[in-house]
Amino acid sequence: MLVPPGNTRTIHARRQQNLSRGMEGQKQSSPEAHWVQRVVIGRNPYITLIRIIVLVVTCLVVFKFVLIPIRVEGVSMLPTYKGGRINFVNRLAYMFHEPQRGDVVAIRLAGRHVMYMKRIIGKPGETISFHAGQTFINGQPLDEPYLKTEWSWEAAPRQLGDDEYYFVGDNRTMPMMDHEQGKAHRERIIGKVLL
Amino acid sequence: MMKWVVRVVLVLALLALAIWTWSYFFPSAETAVRRKLQEVARLASFSQGESVISKGLAINSLMDNCTDDIEISVDIQSYQRQSMTGKEELRTATTVVRAHLSSLKVEFLDLNIDVGPNKQTAVVDLTAKIRVPGEQEFFPQELKFTLKKVDGKWLIRKIETVKTLS
C-alpha cells in the first residue's frame, strides 16, 4: 500500500494512542479476581452479599410460613406415603376455598413440631360410618380409589359438627384401634400436603 | 464521636446482661413452668444401663415435681385409657415402666402455657414425643398439664390426654 509521506506521522500517532488506551484498560482490570474467587464470590462481593441476604430471607419466609417441610413417619398413610420421605405442607392451599374430601392434610397437635398426616373423608355436617371394608357418607358408599387393599373396619355412624372434618389414613389394613383417626375442628388443619 | 459510640455499646451490653441475669434468677411464671416441664421430661427419660441408685433418685425427683393428689389419665396406644391418682400409684407405675423398658425418651414440644390470673395455677397444652426402644416410630400425644404453685414451687396437679382426633 502506498501512503503519502505526510500521513505516516498521523498513523504512528493513532497507533500510539490505541496502545496507551489498551494499557489503560489493562491497568483498570489488573486487580481482577482469581477465577475461583469470581466463581465463589462473584465479580462484585456487595451484590453477591445482597443476593445471599435476599435468598436467605425468601427461604426463611417460604419455608416457615408457606411451604412447611415435613418428614413422613409411620405406616398409617401406606401405600400412598412411605416413612422417611420428605414432603411439604402448603399453608396457602385453603386461603380461597375450604378443604375438600380426598385431600391429604397436616393436622396439628399442640403445635407444628409434630403433625398428623391424614386424608379428609368427611366434611362438616356429614355422617360417617365404616362397614365391611366400605366407608359410608350419609349412608352412601364412598369411592376411595387410593385404597389398594381389602379392609374390614366396623364403626357406627358418627355425625360431624358444623366446623368438623373426619380424617383417616390410607392404611386400613391395620387394626382400627391402632390407627389414629377421627374428627377434628377446621382450625387444626395446618395445610394441604403438597406432593 | 468514636468514644461515645463505644460507651453507648458498652451501656447497651451491660443492660442486656442485667436483664438476662434478672430473668435467669427471677424467671416469669411462664418461664418457670416451661423449665419445670423440661425437667420433668428429662427425669421421665432414661437410658440403658442405668444404675439402681440413679433410677431411684430419678423416680424420687420426678415425684418431687408432683402434688400428693396428682391425677393422671392418659391414652396408651393399643390399650384403653389408663388412669391413676396419687403419688404412690404414680411411683409404682414409673417403677414398672422402668423395669420393663430398657430405655425411654420423652420430649415435650410446642408448649402453650396459660398462667392463671392469680399466678398460682397454670394450664399447659403440649405435644409429648415418646420414643420406646424397638419401635421404629415415636408415639405422639397431645397432653394437658395442670400445675399448681405450692410453697413457691410449680408442681404438677393433673395430666390428661387431649384427643386430637376424637
Strands B66-74 and B82-85: antiparallel
A42 inside domain: yes
**B113: nearest CA in chain A?**
A110
% of chain B surpassing 70 pLDDT: 98
Hey, what amino acid is at B163? K
Across the interface, whether the CB atoms of B112 and A111 are under 8 A apart is answered yes
Residues A153, A105 share a domain: yes
B144: confidence class by pLDDT, cuts 50, 70, 90:
very high
Is A183 part of the annotated catalytic residue set?
A: no
Coil, helix or strand for A92? coil
The answer, for B27 touching chain A at a CB cutoff of 8 Å, is: no
Strands A135-137 and A127-130: antiparallel
B73 touches chain A (CB under 8 A): no
Pick from A114, A119, A168, A179 the residue to mutate for testing the B interface (most B CBs within 10 Å): A114
Considering only CB atoms, B78 lies closest to which of A74, A177, A181, namely A177
**Which cell numbers hold the place of B34?**
416451661
Same domain, A29 and A111: no
Contact A141, A129 (CB under 8 A): no
Q: Nearest 10 degrees: CA dihedral of A170, A171, A175, A178?
A: -80
Residue A147 maps to a domain: yes
Residues A59 and A155 in one domain: no
Do both A87 and A152 map to the same domain? yes
Task: Map residue A165 onto helix, strand or coil.
Answer: strand
Contact B164 A111 (CB under 8 A): no
Q: Give pLDDT tens digits for B35-47.
A: 999 999 999 999 8
Burial grade of B109 (CB within 10 A; 0-12, 13-18, 19 or more): middle
Asked if B138 reaches chain A (Cβ–Cβ under 8 Å), the answer is yes
* DSSP label of A95: S
Residues B141 and B126: their CA atoms lie apart, in Å, by 8
Residue of chain B nearest A111, judged by CA positions: B110
**Other Cβ atoms within 10 Å of B29 Cβ, number:** 17
- Do A86 and A157 lie in a common domain? yes
Task: Give tens-digit pLDDT for B75-92.
Answer: 876 667 889 999 999 999
Q: Which domain holds residue A17?
A: 8-63
Q: What digits encode the pLDDT tens for the residues A42-90?
A: 888 889 899 999 999 999 999 999 999 999 988 889 889 988 899 999 9
Instruction: Look up residue B13 and give its DSSP letter.
Output: H
Report the distance separating Cα A25 and Cα B100, nearest Å.
80
Among the candidates A24, A48, A63, a domain finishes at A63
Residue A110 sits in the same domain as residue A169: yes
Of the candidates A107, A138, A103, the one whose C-alpha atom is nearest the C-alpha of residue A121 is A103
The answer to whether the CB atoms of B165 and A111 lie below 8 A apart is no
Q: Where among A63, A80, A102 does a domain terminate?
A: A63
Quote the radius of gyration of chain B (alpha carbons, Å). Answer: 20
Which residues share a beta bridge with B130?
B106, B139
- Judge if A80 and A16 occupy the same domain: no
Q: Would residue A91 count as lying in a domain?
A: yes
User: Residues A166, A149: one domain?
Assistant: yes
C-alpha B113/C-alpha B130 separation (Å) is 20
> Among residues A41, A63, A85, which one ends one of the domains?
A63
Say yes or no for a CB contact (<8 Å) between A181 and B165.
yes
Say whether A112 and B77 touch across the interface (CB within 8 A): no
Look at residue A3 and tell me if it is in a domain: no
Give pLDDT tens digits for A93-132.
Answer: 999 999 999 999 999 999 999 999 999 999 999 999 999 8
Same domain as A79, residue A159: yes
Residues A93 and A183 in one domain: yes
The nearest alpha carbon in chain A to B126 belongs to A110
Residue A15 lies in a domain: yes
Q: How many domains does chain A have?
A: 2
A118 catalytically annotated: yes
> Contact at 8 Å (CB) between A155 and A130?
yes
Stated as kind and residue range, the H or E segment containing A38 is helix A35-40
Q: Is the pLDDT of residue A187 over 50?
A: yes
Percent of chain A at pLDDT above 70? 83
Query: Is position A1 within any domain?
Result: no
ipTM of the shown complex: 0.80
Distance CA B162, CA B77 (A): 14
Q: Does B118 touch chain A (CB under 8 A)?
A: no
Residue (of B133, B77, B131) closest to B108 by Cα position: B131
Residues in chain B with CB shorter than 8 Å from the CB of A113 are 109-110, 127, 129
Instruction: Return the sign of the alpha-carbon dihedral for residues A81, A83, A85, A86.
Output: positive
**CA end-to-end span of chain A:** 74
| Contact check, Cβ <8 Å, A118/B127 | no
With H, G, I as helix, E, B as strand and everything else as coil, classify residue A6: helix
Say which DSSP state A169 is in.
-
The CATH number assigned to the domain holding A188 equals: 2.10.109.10
Are A137 and A157 members of one domain?
Answer: yes
Q: Is A134 helix (H, G, I), strand (E, B) or coil?
A: coil
Instruction: Give domain status of residue A2, yes or no.
Output: no
Residue B144: Cβ-neighbour burial (10 angstroms; 0-12, 13-18, 19+): middle
Question: Which residue of chain A is at minimal alpha-carbon distance from B144?
Answer: A110
Residue A41 clears pLDDT 90, i.e. is over it: no
B109 interfacial to chain A (CB closer than 8 Å): yes
For A53, the 3-state DSSP assignment is: helix
Give the residue among B44, B37, B64 at the shortest CA–CA distance from B147.
B37
Alpha carbons A110 and A20: distance in angstroms, whole number = 73
Residues A58, A84 within the same domain: no
B135 neighbors A75 (Cβ within 8 angstroms): no
How far, rounded to the nearest angstrom, does the alpha carbon of residue B74 sit from its chain's CA centroid? 16
Contact A183 B165 (CB under 8 A): yes
B6 contacts: CB under 8 Å, gap ≥ 6:
none
